[in-house]
Amino acid sequence: MDILYLLIPLSVVLVLLVLLALYWAINQGQFEALEAEGERILRSD
Amino acid sequence: MLAGMNAAYALLDDPQRWAAFSLPARHHLATDTKPGAHAWQSQVVVQGMHCAACALNVEAALSAVPGVKQVTVNGATHRAQITWSADEVRPSAWMQALVNAGYQALPAQDFMARDAGQTEMRQQLWRWLVAGFCMMQVMMYAWPAYVSAPGEIAPNMLDLLRWASWVLSLPVMFFSADVFTAAAWRDLKQGRISMDLPVALGIWVTFIVSSAAVFEPNGLLGDQVYFDSLTMFVFFLLTGRWLQSRLRERTAGALEALINQLPQTVQRFHHNGRLETVGVHQLKPGDVLQICPGEVIAADGEVVKGHTWVEEALLTGESAPLLRKTGDNLLAGSHNLRETIEMRVDKIGESTRYAAIVSLMQSASLHKPRLAWLADRLAKPFLGTVLLAAGLSALLAWPTSPGQALMVAVAVLIVTCPCALSLATPAAMLAAAGRLARQGVLLRDVQSLETMSQVKAVVFDKTGTLTKDKMQLQAMFTPEGSWSAHQQSDIQANTSFLLAAQLTKHSSHPYARAVLGLLDESLPALPLEDVQEHVGQGLSARLRSPDGLQTKGLRLGSLAFCQSWPECGSVPHQAMGAQVHLCDESGWLASFAFEETVRDDAVSSVDRLRALGMAVYVMSGDKPDAVERVRAVLRLPADQVFAACSPQDKLFHLKALQAKGLQVAMVGDGFNDMPVLAGAHVSFAFGQAVPLAQAKADVVVQGQQLQAVADTFALAQRTQTVVHQNLMWAALYNAVCVPLAFFGYLPPWLAGLGMAASSLWVVLNAMRLTLPPKPQALAATQA
């Protein structure tokens, strides 16, 4: 069970990394105009 | 940063700059006795407003600045209107006052507002996601402690899990929950209490106690941690806020578009014939402007050279491009689509029809009756009781041991963390709003559901709301005989009909559209010449004879229009509704009778509204006989129907209803309805409503189902029932747990569980609203 001493702190770091990725995505505008991306494939150009 | 902010505000002190978001206010300072005081009225977007109470804060902060005469703040649209005297104060001074009060102000009509809106949305999403991800992880760490038997997990492993939970609670507390802390702090400094204060107190006490348990398990505050309940509660609250501002964002965009619609500069012909670029505020009636394709027309006026097609969709709802030739009128706010034209300015700024309606609308929405929200009304007594209980319990336990006293007080504060209370209302309203959105009913502000449940009178506009937009040909009369609309082929073959239909190609009037709709498009056009539309009267033209040598006059239009022409002679009277007549130089040729078609679901919707306990009114700008027919179909009492109303009349009748103490809802679709939509307690923009009306309505009903309006009211009443149940639950929960905690009988783990369960219970109860109503309930409301 000693491996948990590594895995639990690692999971904390992982969550922080996920949050960092989300921060990047939000500020890139990835969550704005969600419908527009789906509709783009339907447009002819 | 702060210095930079001040510099940016100082720029606004240039009169040229402040004119971009302000108008000179002449009539607004009737109380100001000093003549020549330069008063301005400015519109700003206020950021950082989260609740209805914030509007009061903003008002107070601005009013305190010397030189600011009048402040009106709209909590729903985050807009403030400030009347100030340029002799005494500059915009930077009151902007700074807002900053000092903890808010950010941006000049409205400024592109910065749009940018800032985006940043705020991103920030909010980020807060919410941080809380969400941390909550998930914290719950995973909490899980082993719930399911294991005591002693099954090694103590140092438990410590590790707690430590990990604590680390992930930090971003939630210091970043995500910062909105509540900041709002509570602001309230505290100003000596006011809103729901934010008990919320902030609850989460901070919980966090401190849990942190103490992690680092000093044998300390005064015990060894129990509540990180899972804590993060879940913050996440739920932020979810509510996020959804609420998403809803607002979705419908508020159109208003911003409208306000920014007019151009800032225009191309004006100088008297030497050269073009110069001038600001819109410098225009005078009589100026001649050049309008290029794609530009927005800045003022009401007349085409003096060239012709083009314009789009007035935003103003009149007419989506087809309209031809405007030399001598035709142009409306400010319409789009020039094709050619470069020259126009003469007749009316500018505040005297244009566009500005008149926009300002009537804005002031009506600012003066909307304000209701205090249930949760905020409860905040003060709730907080008082909780603090009193915590203090008393500590006092009682003090003689035993100070540590025990502290423990009991903290237990009371934790159990009473107002989870259920603060989630009760938003959870139910958001669930209802989500269900409505799936039916094509968009709510601009979820709180309007609370108002809607108290509505006792529903006012309908007639045209386009109770009736379909289009007119239908009901019958045709000629000297040879008459046909009803069912004998379509006979009508289509009639020569008088063909003549009328060819003429109607030149008009966009609803009657003309109804006639034209029956015309067989494959027939060759008749040689009509000199076609003129006489606005509000009819069409005149000359028809060239088959040999091409002579022409004869024709008229198609109202009775008065035809009979004002001596050649027409007498027109036989038909006992029908709205009619249009056709005559030529030899006399009367034909009459066309039209009817408005009442929507198929109008009767059932009105009946259902009455079953829900509401009085139904109709206010229409249309003629009394047209309104009377609709009244008869809907079986309404005569005193609940008003015909021939101007927008001001409608507003007057509405105010009269409100003066009787009724909560009034208005359903409308047109440009003319906008002031009355803005003045009603709740407003519905229905069907093909013009974008302007949609931008200001509390509820936008997409599609053509009038039944959706009745559904919305029914759901609002159910929502209110659920809110009351949730509040009852919250009260019950506190009534049971507080005495237990008070006397020290509530073990800490049970307090945490109760806190989580009470949040979950209100959220799940609210979710019931997303289910369709029970069949018998539906039948009862329809009976």
Verify that B565 and B610 share a domain, yes or no: no
CATH number at residue B272: 2.70.150.10
Verify that B475 and B586 share a domain, yes or no: yes
Question: Which residues of chain B are under the pLDDT cut of 50?
Answer: 1-5, 27-36, 110-112, 251-260, 317, 319, 360-361, 363-372, 780-783
**DSSP run (H or E) holding B275:** strand B275-279
How many CB pairs below 8 A link A and B? 41
- Select the more confidently predicted residue: B324 or A45: B324
Name which of B121, B137, B154 is nearest A11 (Cβ-Cβ).
Answer: B137
Verify that B444 and B516 share a domain, yes or no: no
Q: Do A8 and B137 touch (CB under 8 A)?
A: no
Verify that B566 and B655 share a domain, yes or no: no
Residue B259: what pLDDT? 47
Verify that B556 and B633 share a domain, yes or no: no
Question: Among the three residues B311, B331, B365, which one is the final residue of a domain in this structure?
Answer: B365
Which residues of chain B make contact with A29, given a CB cutoff of 8 A? 122
Q: Do A31 and B137 touch (CB under 8 A)?
A: no
Does the pLDDT value for residue A11 go beyond 90?
A: yes
pTM summary value: 0.59
- Which tens digit of pLDDT belongs to each residue from B213-264? 888 887 777 777 888 888 888 888 788 777 766 665 554 444 444 444 555 5
- Which tens digit of pLDDT belongs to each residue from B91-115? 888 888 888 887 877 776 544 455 5
Q: Do A11 and B130 touch (CB under 8 A)?
A: no
Q: Which range marks the domain in which residue B52 is found?
A: 2-109
- Which tens digit of pLDDT belongs to each residue from A17-36? 999 999 999 888 788 766 65
**Sheet containing B308-311: order of strands:** B322-324, B308-311, B335-336
- Select the more confidently predicted residue: B650 or A1: B650
Q: Do B164 and A9 touch (CB under 8 A)?
A: yes
Residue A34 to chain B, least CA–CA distance (Å): 13
**How many separate domains does chain B show?**
4
Q: Do B164 and A19 touch (CB under 8 A)?
A: no
Which residues of chain B make contact with A19, given a CB cutoff of 8 A? 129-130, 133-134, 171
Which residues of chain A make contact with B157, given a CB cutoff of 8 A? 1, 4
Verify that B477 and B593 share a domain, yes or no: yes
Tell me whether residue B160 is in a domain.
Answer: no
Helix (H) and strand (E) counts for chain B?
Answer: 27, 28
CA distance B693 to B109: 19
Verify that B588 and B604 share a domain, yes or no: no
Tell me whether residue B779 is in a domain.
Answer: no
CATH number at residue B610: 3.40.50.1000
Tell me whether residue B18 is in a domain.
Answer: yes
Verify that B488 and B607 share a domain, yes or no: no
CA neighbor of B297 nearest in space, from B359, B363, B353:
B353
CATH number at residue B569: 3.40.1110.10
Verify that B457 and B574 share a domain, yes or no: no
Which residue is associated with the tokens 């348990």? B213
- Which tens digit of pLDDT belongs to each residue from B415-470? 776 767 777 777 787 788 778 877 778 776 667 888 888 889 999 887 778 887 66
CB atoms within 10 A of CB B720: 20
Question: Among the three residues B109, B138, B158, which one is the final residue of a domain in this structure?
Answer: B109
**Closest chain B CA to residue A11:** B137
Q: Do A19 and B137 touch (CB under 8 A)?
A: no
The pLDDT of A1-11, averaged and rounded, is 88
Residue B7: what pLDDT? 55
Please name the residues between 1 and 45 in chain A that touch chain B, using a CB distance below 8 Å.
1, 4-5, 8-9, 11-12, 15, 18-19, 22-23, 26-27, 29, 31-32
Verify that B585 and B563 share a domain, yes or no: yes
Which residues of chain B make contact with A28, given a CB cutoff of 8 A? none
CA neighbor of A22 nearest in space, from B307, B130, B370, B525:
B130
Tell me whether residue B737 is in a domain.
Answer: no
Verify that B315 and B333 share a domain, yes or no: yes
Q: Is the separation of the CB atoms in B308 and B339 below 8 Å?
A: yes
Residue B369 to chain A, least CA–CA distance (Å): 34
Tell me whether residue B651 is in a domain.
Answer: yes
Which residues of chain A make contact with B140, given a CB cutoff of 8 A? 11
In order, the DSSP letters of B448-514 are HHHHHTT--EEEE-IIIIIEEEEEEEEEEEETTEEEETT-HHHHHH-HHHHHHHHHHTT---HHHHH
Tell me whether residue B732 is in a domain.
Answer: no
Residue B699 to chain A, least CA–CA distance (Å): 22
Verify that B588 and B660 share a domain, yes or no: no
